[in-house]
Structure 1
Amino acid sequence: MSDLLSALLLGILEGLTEFLPISSTGHLLIAQHWLGARSDLFNIVIQAGAIIAITLVFRQRLWALATGLRERENRRYLARIAVAFLVTALVGLPVRLAGWELPETVSPVAAALILGGIWMLLAERLAERKAPSSEITWMVAVLVGLAQVVAGVFPGTSRSAAAIFMAMLAGTGQRSAATEFVFLVGIPTMFAASGYALLEYALARAAPGGGVPAEAWGELGLAFAAAAITGFVVVRWLMGYIKQHRYTVFAYYRIALGAALLLWLPTGG
């Protein structure tokens, strides 16, 4: 298989799985077992391609927030997005610099998929016992930020799953409201992560004797575009789906995928 086709397939897979609560990391782990491993820069930047999809899907909502700053509710909502992002940045950056992250190998990813699926089933039932609410409180914003850090430390957790269900448990009982907030927080979060990865890559390339291989920018650009297009379709579908359905099917899928990873792939990587 050509490298361009491999990059295209990985971009499509990223767009399909980034926003569904099923872990894009777990799926890319399986795909790269056959399509070849890619750099951390590649994996992070194609996530930013998927975030382009979020920006396009919620463009009217973002425009309304940006142009409606005179309204107190819009200012409060934007402030909560900012708080969630700052919590992720202020806690997540030291965690990353300290190297506190499990390896993206089969065993930890599979365990996170299975445990996360079980937790999703329990969390959704607990959230449904509360009065449905679309309010995003300060506590929800802080916990969503922390959930994103946890997802970064434990590959396979799924950023969207961790943050959405944390928001639902913290009081935002409406699935659509919790999902929209988490997706909007993901815009600055993933763009910042991509920018940080690009900076790390540039510094490593500039360092004497760094030995960092050159990135295949054509393949990365193709994967970026594929992730953006596929992600747009997936998000539009998901926002309609969750208005009338639970996340249960995704929880069962996670459990099945985690079990398959343990059974079918070598545990070393």
Structure 2
Amino acid sequence: MSWIDALLLGILEGLTEFLPVSSTGHLILLGSWLGHEDEAAKTLEVVIQLGAVMAVVVYYRNRLLDLGRGVLARDPASLRFVMALGIAFMPAAGLGYLLHKKIKALLFGPMPVAVALIVGGVVMIAMERLQRKRGQEGLTRLQDVTPKRALIIGIAQAFALWPGASRSMSSILGGQLVGLSTAAAAEFSFLLAIPTLGAATVFDLVKNGQTLLDAPGGMLNLGVGLVVSFIVALLVISGFLRYLKRFGLTPFGWYRIALGVLVLALASR
């Protein structure tokens, strides 16, 4: 893998991590197209997400600092929100730990990604239509995420362990399911990315980091991918929130279906 390949992966990761289109799925498809399907490439496709995590930390730095001060002061609202994040984090963390090897062995390929893209797109469009039918904007405050709602969001996020399903899509749909507005669900999804993606990248780096670093240009590729994904993701976050408030999830659903069908058509040739 050249540093240019790592640059392309970093751009794609930053563009897609917080959009409900599956960054991992897109990275697998791009890696396959570039001819990188070894263990080092698969590890880079996971670890590169750390750049996007740092973008969330920087974007929400003031809120995170306030949250940290609230926790130290034992503010009930801050403690409840941290508890909600912890509860939502646990299902994906537990299943990811147990199924990590099988997921990478069986699902890191174009066909599983295509299936997940199509199914996820259909579900997104159906959920948006249901939301419009209800005629309610939903709860708009992150403080409304109770432990029970957080657990449901966490269970929904766990479906994103299947590459192509999208962590962002799954957690946003979970938020909508428990009554959050699309924008509030997206914000909770962004903050939930910090423990979820942070744990996933550190876990994969500890287990397979040496394989990545031993590959030709491994350290350079990792550095390029992380820096580029951080910069691009930071630019994407605020624009995505504005877009969601105006257009919702439906356009992303149709994009997912179209991409999934294209991948299946190319794979069947």
Do both proteins adopt the same fold according to a TM-score greater than 0.5, normalized to the shorter chain?
yes
Structure 1 residues 90 and 103, CA gap change in structure 2 (3 angstroms): closer
Alignment-derived partner of residue 168 in structure 2:
160
Alignment-derived partner of residue 200 in structure 1:
207
Alignment-derived partner of residue 50 in structure 2:
48
Q: Percent of counterpart pairs with the same letter?
A: 37
Alignment-derived partner of residue 183 in structure 2:
176
Which ranges of 4 or more aligned residues in structure 1 deviate by more than 6 Å?
Answer: none
User: Quick one: which amino acid aligns to residue 77 of structure 2?
Assistant: E
Whether contact under 8 Å (2:157, 2:174) holds in the other structure is no
Alignment-derived partner of residue 242 in structure 1:
244
> How many angstroms apart in 1 are the aligned matches of 2:18 and 2:55?
10
Q: Does 1:136 align with 2:145?
A: yes
Please, what TM-score do these two structures have when normalized by structure 1?
Answer: 0.87
Whether contact under 8 Å (1:110, 1:261) holds in the other structure is yes
Q: Deviation digits for residues 105-132 of structure 1, max 9, x if unmatched?
A: 2222111111100100111222341742
List gaps (5 residues or longer) in structure 2.
none
Structure 1 residues 137 and 130, CA gap change in structure 2 (3 angstroms): farther
Alignment-derived partner of residue 93 in structure 1:
97
> How many angstroms apart in 1 are the aligned matches of 2:100 and 2:221?
27
List gaps (5 residues or longer) in structure 1.
206-211
Query: Which is helix-richer, 1 or 2?
Result: 2
Please, what TM-score do these two structures have when normalized by structure 2?
Answer: 0.87
> How many angstroms apart in 1 are the aligned matches of 2:234 and 2:197?
16
> How many angstroms apart in 1 are the aligned matches of 2:81 and 2:247?
25
Structure 1 residues 227 and 257, CA gap change in structure 2 (3 angstroms): same
> How many angstroms apart in 1 are the aligned matches of 2:32 and 2:204?
23
> How many angstroms apart in 1 are the aligned matches of 2:42 and 2:110?
17
Whether contact under 8 Å (1:176, 1:243) holds in the other structure is yes
> How many angstroms apart in 2 are the aligned matches of 1:202 and 1:91?
21
Whether contact under 8 Å (2:2, 2:217) holds in the other structure is no
Whether contact under 8 Å (1:91, 1:146) holds in the other structure is no
Structure 1 residues 204 and 244, CA gap change in structure 2 (3 angstroms): closer
Structure 1 residues 204 and 4, CA gap change in structure 2 (3 angstroms): closer
RMSD of aligned alpha carbons: 2.3
Give the 3-state SS of the residue equivalent to 1:244 in structure 2: helix
Q: Deviation digits for residues 81-108 of structure 1, max 9, x if unmatched?
A: 11111232233322336x2564222222
